[in-house]
Amino acid sequence: MAVRVPKLKGAVFESAVIERYRRREESVEEALIDMYLAGVSTRRVDDISQALWGERMPSQTLSDQLKKVYAQIDQWRERPLSQPYPYVFMDGVWHKRSWGGAVENVSVLVAIGIGMDGHREVIGVAEGMKEDTQSWRSFVSSLISRGLIGVRMVTGDRCAGLVSTVGELLPEARYQRCMVHFMRNVLAKVSPRHTRWAADALKAIFAMESRGSALTKAGQVASELEERKLREAAKCLREGIDETTTYLMESYPVEHRRRIRTNNMIERLNREIRRRTRVVGSFPDGRSALMLISARIRYVTANDWSARRYLDMSRLHDTIQEAS
């Protein structure tokens, strides 16, 4: 529809809705970019753009607009960390990207910290390639250079690179292997007819109120596994139970145990990331994957996710005082 411009003698007409020489309204354009970051495909954004103002927004145009957003994301990723984070959760989310002419699975490393104010915050996002020792060392080193201090526990899955990096770069922190992942690892070595019994036995271990009783119970369960000819499961249990019961140490408050013993918080965030990356399929390069995943994380955590207090950290303060 054609818009007629008023004829004003001696004055220049300017619209209060759209600036002079602009063919699109900026807020609508920003809304289209937000739709893309929220999970709408580039093709769908193109269709909506045509429906709104009769012009298409091809992927290259959208990419040019996203560069402004990506500059803000880089500032967010590299921001200084302004408080101690006693609890840090780390994991990697896998995605497909082009590499050397082939499509391969690579990882983006994510770290969530719980500060002394009790609020959780995404404190790091970086491309990690294969989640090897070098990737984890580079990732944790970047966090330290930005001001990461006061770490007392790092929770993550069983990754040799992460465990060794925590011991090397965060010597005051203890490593907590994710309880849920550990149980899955043990149950994967149990035959189907023993699965229910084994699951109940493992739950009984982690229901113990002290670390000593949990280790004792684990020894009993391992012996029963061996009696049932489940030697691989028993071996897995014996090898991993020590680092999976770190949360039961007296230096961590009882009120915090349920939330610091698993990586469920970051796993839920990873599910939101995968929901967005599935729309893309494979990324053309690591930069585009990192930016989109970072944008998705900011989008998901922009609500009361980070505004609501996650833990009462006064409990940890009291525990530290009692220990000293």
What is the DSSP secondary-structure string of 245-289? SGGGSTTS-GGGHHHHS--HHHHHHHHHHHHHHHHH-EESSHHHH
pLDDT of residue 21: 47
Q: Is 17 left (phi over 0), alpha (psi -120 to 50) or beta?
A: alpha
- Cα separation, 59 vs 52, whole angstroms: 17
Decide the pairing of beta strands 153-156 and 87-99: parallel
> How many residues are recorded in the chain?
324
Beta partners for residue 66, in sequence order: none
Q: Is 91 left (phi over 0), alpha (psi -120 to 50) or beta?
A: beta
pLDDT of residue 108: 85
Mean pLDDT in order along the chain per 10 residues (324 residues): 64 57 52 63 65 64 69 89 95 72 76 93 85 88 96 90 91 94 95 95 95 96 95 96 95 93 89 74 69 82 81 84 64
Closest CA relative to residue 245, chosen from 206, 286, 277: 206
Closest CA relative to residue 153, chosen from 172, 136, 138: 172
pLDDT of residue 290: 81
Closest CA relative to residue 193, chosen from 229, 221, 237: 229
The predicted-structure confidence for 96-143, as pLDDT tens digits, reads as follows 766 556 667 777 899 999 999 999 999 999 987 666 788 899 999 999
pLDDT of residue 11: 62
Quote the DSSP letter at residue 153.
E
Closest CA relative to residue 315, chosen from 268, 252, 270, 263: 252
Which ranges constitute the DSSP H helices of the chain?
26-38, 42-53, 59-77, 133-145, 160-169, 179-187, 195-206, 211-227, 231-244, 257-260, 264-280, 286-300, 304-307, 314-323
pLDDT of residue 288: 73
CB 95 within 8 A of CB 277: yes
pTM: 0.81
What angle do helix axes 179-187 and 195-206 make, rounded to 10 degrees?
Answer: 150
Kindly tell me the sign of the dihedral angle through the C-alpha atoms of 244, 245, 246, 252.
positive
Kindly tell me the sign of the dihedral angle through the C-alpha atoms of 289, 292, 298, 300.
negative
pLDDT of residue 16: 56
Residues 6+ apart with CB under 8 A from 119: 306, 307, 308, 309, 310
pLDDT of residue 77: 92
User: How far, rounded to the nearest angstrom, does the alpha carbon of residue 158 sit from its chain's CA centroid?
Assistant: 16
Closest CA relative to residue 296, chosen from 160, 129, 93: 93
- Cα separation, 135 vs 54, whole angstroms: 46
pLDDT of residue 158: 82
